[in-house]
């Protein structure tokens, strides 16, 4: 299954590169980063399926898309990302808010679709982020410990109030909402952060 999916993904990458413009064999190889034998196999497949064609320029073969290629799912998703970026550029009054919302929607649909969307946006309104020398994993773990300590404090406050005969329903709801929000955050980050967080809060009860 993996090999079949990877093969199809490479086919799609080749087609997308040809959406961007005609290319010879070496240009395609540089763009998709496949070995010469692998690229030859993919080109033969796409040619036989009438998705691409070529013309000769001296000794070079210049490859280009045929009309059928635009019906391929991967190509359609790529172009959907481009079209979505075009619409935001032309029509949106809340540009960055719309970019964030659409990027998430497209990523859920297909990561490559989101990539083509964000690539176009980045060229339209580039954002420069200063890369600092820092331990990213350590920083996330430190924030995680801060969040965990906050939950411990809230839990202890609930237990203390209950020991005095008070029913702190409002504080309980706040604790449960905060616990859920933090779980959603750390689960979204994926391993190793999700595993670490789940192990930390596994016995966190009041």
Domain count for the chain? 3
This prediction has a pTM of: 0.73
Reduced to 3 states, what is the DSSP secondary structure of residue 189? helix
Q: For 157-171, give the DSSP string.
A: HHHHHHHTT---HHH
| C-alpha–C-alpha distance, residues 140 and 119, integer Å | 27
**Which of 44, 51, 117 has the alpha carbon at shortest distance from 78?**
117
CATH classification at residue 39: 1.10.10.10
Residues 77 and 65 reside in one and the same domain: no
Length of the chain: 206
In a domain, 130, yes or no: no
| C-alpha–C-alpha distance, residues 196 and 186, integer Å | 9
User: Which helix (H) or strand (E) covers residue 91, if one does?
Assistant: helix 73-91
Question: Domain span at residue 86?
Answer: 72-124
Residues 65 and 81 reside in one and the same domain: no
Residues 10 and 31 reside in one and the same domain: yes
In a domain, 131, yes or no: no
What is the tens place of the pLDDT at every residue in 143-165? 999 999 999 999 999 999 999 98
What is the tens place of the pLDDT at every residue in 76-117? 999 999 999 999 999 878 899 999 999 999 999 999 999 999
Phi, psi dihedral angles at 127 (to 5 degrees) = -120, 125
Residue range 21-34: mean pLDDT, rounded: 96
**Residue 190: C-alpha distances to residues 34, 149, 195, 197 (Å):** 29, 21, 8, 10
Residues 57 and 113 reside in one and the same domain: no
């Amino acid at each position: 299954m993996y090999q079949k999916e990877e093969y199809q993904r490479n086919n799609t990458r080749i087609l997308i590169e040809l959406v961007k413009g005609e290319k010879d064999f070496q240009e395609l190889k540089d763009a998709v980063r496949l070995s010469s034998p692998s690229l030859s196999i993919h080109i033969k497949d796409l040619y036989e399926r009438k998705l691409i064609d070529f013309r000769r320029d001296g000794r070079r073969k210049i490859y280009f898309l045929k009309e059928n290629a635009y019906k391929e799912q991967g190509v359609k998703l790529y172009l959907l990302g481009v079209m979505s970026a075009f619409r935001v550029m032309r029509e949106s009054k809340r540009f960055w808010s719309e970019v964030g919302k659409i990027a998430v929607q497209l990523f859920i649909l297909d990561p490559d679709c989101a990539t083509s969307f964000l690539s176009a946006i980045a060229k339209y309104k580039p954002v420069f982020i200063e890369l600092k020398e820092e331990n990213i994993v350590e920083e996330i773990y430190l924030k995680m410990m801060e969040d965990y300590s906050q939950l411990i404090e809230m839990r202890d406050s609930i237990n203390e109030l209950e020991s005095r005969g008070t029913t702190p329903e409002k504080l309980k709801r706040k604790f449960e909402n905060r616990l859920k929000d933090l779980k959603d955050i750390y689960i979204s980050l994926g391993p190793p952060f999700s595993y670490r967080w789940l192990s930390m809060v596994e016995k966190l009860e009041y």
